Structure 1
Amino acid sequence: MRKAALHNLGCKVNSYETEAMQQLLENAGYEIVPFTEEADVYIINTCSVTNIADKKSRQMLHRAKKMNPGAVVVAAGCYVQAAGEELKKDEAVDLIVGNNKKTELVTILDDYFSDREDVLEETVIDIRSTREYESLSIDKIADHTRAFIKIQDGCNQFCSYCIIPYTRGQVRSRKAEEVVEEIKRLTATGFQEVVLTGIHLSSYGKDFPAEERITLLDLIIKIHEVEGLKRIRLGSLEPRIVTEEFAVTLSKLTKICPHFHLSLQSGCDTTLKRMNRHYSAEEFYNCCNILRKAFINPAITTDVIVGFPGETKEEFVMTKEYLEKVRFYEMHVFKYSKRNGTKAAEMTDQVQEFIKSERSSELLILEKEMSLAYRKSYLGSKAEVLIEESFEINGIKYMIGHTREYVKAAVPYEEGLKGKLLVGILTEMLTDEIALLNIMGQI
């Protein structure tokens, strides 16, 4: 029996695909071992979102070969699409497997072990030319309480800083019945929460033929009918999907978690235009207000890039003031990182690194203040918490999880609570990030 070890880099979609590849290997008779152990096959599901991600991908591939020089090292995913020819020349890499070829991983390995000389010629496709959704699926997830479900791949947005449309291809959606069946299987094994994820989630269904076309909202309604499922959480959404109809319909679905991640990137319209984002700051703000009208105190989180090429001090100040107006629950703040092959990488007026760091620090301080204020707004309120893991705070052991709004909450440690849905009152902040739940009962 051959041993295989897998390592994931990058986004939640990559994580899902790594889980799926692991199950393909298990079903083929491979023994799965931790990545730190000696294995016969190492699979690194790579990321290529920034130059730094490329570097990390290369480092992990070389680390695998050092751990066992006789092993087969497989580079899979986005970095393969971006640098396949380069990887073919890398002595640390034995096989490359591009996106939309991961379902064939076991066959590719079988061919390699059979000394098929042309195996490398069939493992990467022109991802921009395909309209086929790669049918990966999972039946179980190791040691998690919520299941991430991939429903869509690809992106047609072409933001000026982003390489993803070139590494993931055009929008391709998974058939609704496949999504629902997978969720039914996972719910039957005990999962009570699913998170819908994709490369550009809001585009779900737009690639289907007119007679088969359904929207993300249509799919959510179908998922809501799955018996035993308690929570549906949405991945990152494009702001323009948030209409009155979208928000009001979701608010009537009791399983929907009122936690919405809307990707902003900048609060300055001129910066948004350079980024090729397809909305204005005012339109984004209106989307937030629509959600706040439909839901009581929903969690709205976002991404912000600081130091984008050409960002002046005035543009940054405008963004900061805008963020203070919107009042997000959480912000993921990124310093702009140049990605070769994108329009932004060729732009003049690249911002100096120390300025990016200063601006990032300033927004992180603001993020901490806004985040704490949002968490405190729930003290004294009834909450439902899905328990996930044990955790120590000041030497005292607790079990912690998240509310429907993704506020972290803790209860006194007790065996058997993992995966349970508890209801209670949030009474105080144990730390700036964790509230204490006074348990009233279990769902």
Structure 2
Amino acid sequence: MKIWSFTFGCKVNQYETELLRHRLLGSDDSSVSHPQEADLCLINTCTVTAFADKECRQLIRRITRINPMARLIVTGCYATRAREEIQNLSPQVEVYTNEEKDDLPSCLGFEVSEKPLGIHQFAGRTRAFLKIQDGCQAPCSYCIIPTIRPNMVSKPVERVISEIQALLKNGYREIVLTGIRLGLYRGLDTSGNKHNLIQLLKKVVTLEGQFRVRLSSLEVTEVTDSLIDFVAAHSKICRHLHIPLQSGDSQVLKDMKRWYGANIYRDRVKTLRQTIPDCGVTADVMVGYPTETDLMFENTSELIKEVGLSGLHVFRYSARTGTKASILKPLDPKVIAHRAQMLGTLDQQLRGDFYERFRGHLREVLPEPLGEGWSDNYIRVDVPKSKRHLDLSHMPIWSSYWEGKRSQGIPQIV
């Protein structure tokens, strides 16, 4: 059977899609690049925003047009939240919630001798994502995810280590640890002892081989002095942390039911910068929360500049039915769009400033087949053909914008 898959959303979703592919295909890699060629099309959905829902629906409709004979399997967070809504798009669609993912192969009629404990490869990627935690119970007023993934679960320590070893054996040199709340990892070892994230990392960095580990996303209250010191002391941990901000105004953060204020964020990032000066620090930022005024938005912009973030992932607020914020009067969409555009411009400036700091500096870079790559501190670079065959290598970076590659530019390695 030929299988085509597509994933919307976060790294957790991408890992879960790859695990499903492993279970459906086994050692027989019958995946195809185009949905027209597939006997089975698998779509793993996201529902963080209304726009994400819209993108999912558009792809589902497209698949029903171009390959009406294929089995069309839709799963993920949108499928969990709005099963009937998706089912009504077409009789061709078969919907499975997140809770049903584990049973999906047998439900589809595949012979499954045993459930694999993890993955050993990540199709089409030089970096492998590894989910070690799932679930969130945070009270954020705008977020629907805690109602969709409420169960806090951590992968056992030995399974994490085993999965990393399998990926390293297959040539992967960057492992991205991910979870819905990665910083709340609490995995058990074979003796029943609970390990937090730092205790797990202590075991990971002792593994043999040339590789590095990247932490996907940590809430600011999880970026403790101990974690910062650990990252500083171990070269196998990437000099990059993604720390969601959401807003730089304390009143908006309070309205959002976030559990920190602007001062806590400011302090944590400054401490991180002082301890690891070359660390890249990126953040999620939401614009247009219903109580956000022009002054509050300005406070967000100023905080971002003050702490010197190296990049932003900008979200426009989207009301999610069932959340506390959904009953609030929304802001004018034009205001939200303008603020998103302003932060988009600021993002380009921040990335450019961060690139310039490392002009001519040697950084550890993982080349990718198409000629790009990521430095350890999360600078995207253009790698010349003569160096694309390398694994992790230290290369000098020319860090002004490289015109013509992308709108924001990609610095070149020379």
Compute the TM-score of the two structures, normalised by the length of structure 2: 0.91
Amino acid aligned to 1:331:
L
**What is the aligned counterpart of 1:220 among 163, 180, 201?**
201
Amino acid aligned to 1:322:
L
Structure 1, 33-42 or 99-108: larger mean CA deviation = 33-42
Per-residue CA shift, 1:22-70, capped at 9, x if unaligned? Answer: 1111128683223432432221111111222222222322322223333
SS in 1 for 2:148: helix
Name the CA distance, whole Å, in 2 between partners of 1:206 and 1:187. Answer: 21
Measure how far apart 1:99 and its partner are. Answer: 1.1
SS in 2 for 1:74: strand
- Tell me, yes or no, if the aligned pair for 1:7 and 1:35 is still in contact at 8 Å: no
- Tell me, yes or no, if the aligned pair for 1:135 and 1:174 is still in contact at 8 Å: no
Q: In structure 2, what is the equivalent of residue 412 of structure 1?
A: 384
Name the CA distance, whole Å, in 2 between partners of 1:311 and 1:428. Answer: 35
Q: In structure 2, what is the equivalent of residue 421 of structure 1?
A: 392
Structure 1, 100-109 or 320-329: larger mean CA deviation = 100-109
Measure how far apart 1:108 and its partner are. Answer: 0.5
Name the CA distance, whole Å, in 1 between partners of 2:33 and 2:76. Answer: 20
Name the CA distance, whole Å, in 2 between partners of 1:201 and 1:347. Answer: 30
- Tell me, yes or no, if the aligned pair for 1:410 and 1:434 is still in contact at 8 Å: yes
Amino acid aligned to 2:382:
A
Per-residue CA shift, 1:265-318, capped at 9, x if unaligned? Answer: 000011001111110110011111221122132111101111101111111111
SS in 2 for 1:100: helix
Name the CA distance, whole Å, in 1 between partners of 2:158 and 2:191. Answer: 17
In structure 2, relative to structure 1, the CA distance for the partners of 1:311 and 1:246 (3 Å cut) is: same
- Tell me, yes or no, if the aligned pair for 1:73 and 1:92 is still in contact at 8 Å: no
Confirm or deny that 1:306 pairs with 2:287: yes
Confirm or deny that 1:19 pairs with 2:18: yes
Confirm or deny that 1:171 pairs with 2:152: yes
- Tell me, yes or no, if the aligned pair for 1:188 and 1:228 is still in contact at 8 Å: no
SS in 2 for 1:45: strand
In structure 2, relative to structure 1, the CA distance for the partners of 1:420 and 1:342 (3 Å cut) is: same
RMSD: 2.4
- Tell me, yes or no, if the aligned pair for 1:172 and 1:207 is still in contact at 8 Å: no
Confirm or deny that 1:382 pairs with 2:362: yes
Per-residue CA shift, 1:108-145, capped at 9, x if unaligned? Answer: 00189xxxxxxxxxxxxxxxxxxxxx976211112321
Q: In structure 2, what is the equivalent of residue 120 of structure 1?
A: none
Q: In structure 1, what is the equivalent of residue 411 of structure 2?
A: 435
Name the CA distance, whole Å, in 1 between partners of 2:69 and 2:140. Answer: 41
- Tell me, yes or no, if the aligned pair for 1:51 and 1:340 is still in contact at 8 Å: no
Unpaired runs of 5+ in structure 2? 403-407
**What is the aligned counterpart of 2:315 among 331, 334, 339?**
334
SS in 2 for 1:389: coil
- Tell me, yes or no, if the aligned pair for 1:20 and 1:136 is still in contact at 8 Å: no
Measure how far apart 1:244 and its partner are. Answer: 1.5
Identity %: 35
Name the CA distance, whole Å, in 1 between partners of 2:39 and 2:290. Answer: 45
Q: In structure 2, what is the equivalent of residue 81 of structure 1?
A: 80
Measure how far apart 1:259 and its partner are. Answer: 0.3
Confirm or deny that 1:364 pairs with 2:336: no
SS in 1 for 2:347: helix
Q: How many residues align?
A: 406
- Tell me, yes or no, if the aligned pair for 1:193 and 1:229 is still in contact at 8 Å: no
SS in 1 for 2:3: strand
Measure how far apart 1:175 and its partner are. Answer: 0.8
Confirm or deny that 1:403 pairs with 2:372: no
Q: In structure 2, what is the equivalent of residue 69 of structure 1?
A: 68
Measure how far apart 1:421 and its partner are. Answer: 2.1
In structure 2, relative to structure 1, the CA distance for the partners of 1:273 and 1:418 (3 Å cut) is: farther
Amino acid aligned to 1:176:
V
Q: In structure 1, what is the equivalent of residue 333 of structure 2?
A: 353
Confirm or deny that 1:242 pairs with 2:218: no
In structure 2, relative to structure 1, the CA distance for the partners of 1:366 and 1:111 (3 Å cut) is: closer
Name the CA distance, whole Å, in 1 between partners of 2:193 and 2:43. Answer: 36
Name the CA distance, whole Å, in 1 between partners of 2:273 and 2:118. Answer: 35
Runs of 4+ in 1 over 4 A off after TM superposition: 206-211
Structure 1, 264-273 or 12-21: larger mean CA deviation = 12-21
Measure how far apart 1:15 and its partner are. Answer: 0.9
SS in 1 for 2:82: helix
SS in 1 for 2:234: coil
Q: In structure 2, what is the equivalent of residue 121 of structure 1?
A: none
In structure 2, relative to structure 1, the CA distance for the partners of 1:433 and 1:225 (3 Å cut) is: farther
In structure 2, relative to structure 1, the CA distance for the partners of 1:111 and 1:194 (3 Å cut) is: closer
Name the CA distance, whole Å, in 2 between partners of 1:30 and 1:135. Answer: 16
Amino acid aligned to 1:370:
L
SS in 2 for 1:37: helix
Name the CA distance, whole Å, in 2 between partners of 1:198 and 1:24. Answer: 21
Structure 1, 174-183 or 59-68: larger mean CA deviation = 59-68
Name the CA distance, whole Å, in 1 between partners of 2:37 and 2:321. Answer: 34
Structure 1, 51-60 or 243-252: larger mean CA deviation = 51-60
Amino acid aligned to 1:26:
L
- Tell me, yes or no, if the aligned pair for 1:242 and 1:290 is still in contact at 8 Å: no
Q: In structure 2, what is the equivalent of residue 394 of structure 1?
A: none
Name the CA distance, whole Å, in 1 between partners of 2:323 and 2:390. Answer: 42
- Tell me, yes or no, if the aligned pair for 1:81 and 1:98 is still in contact at 8 Å: yes
Name the CA distance, whole Å, in 2 between partners of 1:135 and 1:25. Answer: 11
In structure 2, relative to structure 1, the CA distance for the partners of 1:191 and 1:210 (3 Å cut) is: closer
Name the CA distance, whole Å, in 2 between partners of 1:209 and 1:278. Answer: 34
Amino acid aligned to 2:374:
H
Q: In structure 2, what is the equivalent of residue 155 of structure 1?
A: 136
